[in-house]
Chains A and B, each alone.
Chain A
Amino acid sequence: NAGVTQTPKFQVLKTGQSMTLQCAQDMNHEYMSWYRQDPGMGLRLIHYSVGAGITDQGEVPNGYNVSRSTTEDFPLRLLSAAPSQTSVYFCATQGYNEQFFGPGTRLTVL
């Protein structure tokens, strides 16, 4: 099993550009989440999903969109990148007894 995979690992964008961060899992978990991690702020929830077709906002959803058309995939879209979105992004799934995190995407917005 690959677990939780994220692409790309690194990305540099210019202000105003859009992009999609990909997240995929092969564990058939219903719950998936997107977090951002910033120095001094810890991890913060952006959006989460409790199953295909169902998503909800977390603590810091502005500037991000998500969709969940399948159990496996949970992409995060940046509509118009801003320097404040420079961060490390983690996707995670919730198993029976633990959370599984992807390796992260380091995003820089210039």
Chain B
Amino acid sequence: KNEVEQSPQNLTAQEGEFITINCSYSVGISALHWLQQHPGGGIVSLFMLSSGKKKHGRLIATINIQEKHSSLHITASHPRDSAVYICAVGGTSYGKLTFGQGTILTVHP
């Protein structure tokens, strides 16, 4: 069973700050997902990556397969970025994910 650890568990930032959330996993994977969950519950996929780096707007996700580590960066953070960010990893079956506990991000104006 893959163990997925996220850090930090809670993160508070001021608007405009650069934010990094980390994810480490214990077993080799086929893909890693970053998800966002706002208060009220809906879950949205931000990235799926198996190597290198992806960028979408102010969000950047990187993965280091050898070190079994991924980071999610948010540049120029905004209060609307306040949400829970969840890392999930998948093995050989796409549908079978193991999740981290989530990082609660609060961005103050």
Task: Provide the main secondary structure of the chain B interface.
Answer: strand
Contacts between chains A and B (CB distance < 8 A), count: 62
Query: Chain A contacts of B7 at CB under 8 A?
Result: none
Q: Is A13 an interface residue (CB 8 A)?
A: no
Query: Chain A contacts of B95 at CB under 8 A?
Result: 31-33, 48-50, 92, 94
- CB-contact partner of A31 in B35, B45, B94, under 8 A: B94
Q: Which residue of B lies closest to A33 (CB)?
A: B95
* Interface range for A: 20 to 34
In the assembled complex, the Cα of A92 lies from the Cα of B90 at a distance in Å of 14
B96 close to A58 (CB less than 8 A): yes
Q: Answer whether A42 and B43 are a contact pair too, CB < 8 Å, given A33-B95, A99-B48.
A: no
Query: Chain A contacts of B86 at CB under 8 A?
Result: 42-43
In the assembled complex, the Cα of A59 lies from the Cα of B97 at a distance in Å of 10
A48 close to B42 (CB less than 8 A): no
Interface of chain A residues 59 through 98 with chain B (CB within 8 A): 59, 88, 90, 92, 94, 97-98
Q: Which 7 A-B pairs have the closest CB atoms?
A: A31-B95, A98-B45, A101-B43, A48-B95, A43-B99, A94-B94, A33-B95
- B-side residues, CB < 8 A to A, are 1, 33, 35, 41-45, 47-48, 86, 88, 93-102
- A-side residues, CB < 8 A to B, are 31-33, 35, 40, 42-45, 48-50, 56, 58-59, 88, 90, 92, 94, 97-101, 103-104
Query: Can you report 19 residue pairs joining A to B where beta carbons are below 8 Å apart?
Result: A31-B94, A42-B100, A42-B102, A43-B88, A43-B99, A45-B97, A45-B98, A48-B96, A50-B94, A58-B96, A59-B98, A92-B43, A92-B95, A94-B95, A99-B88, A101-B43, A101-B45, A103-B41, A104-B42
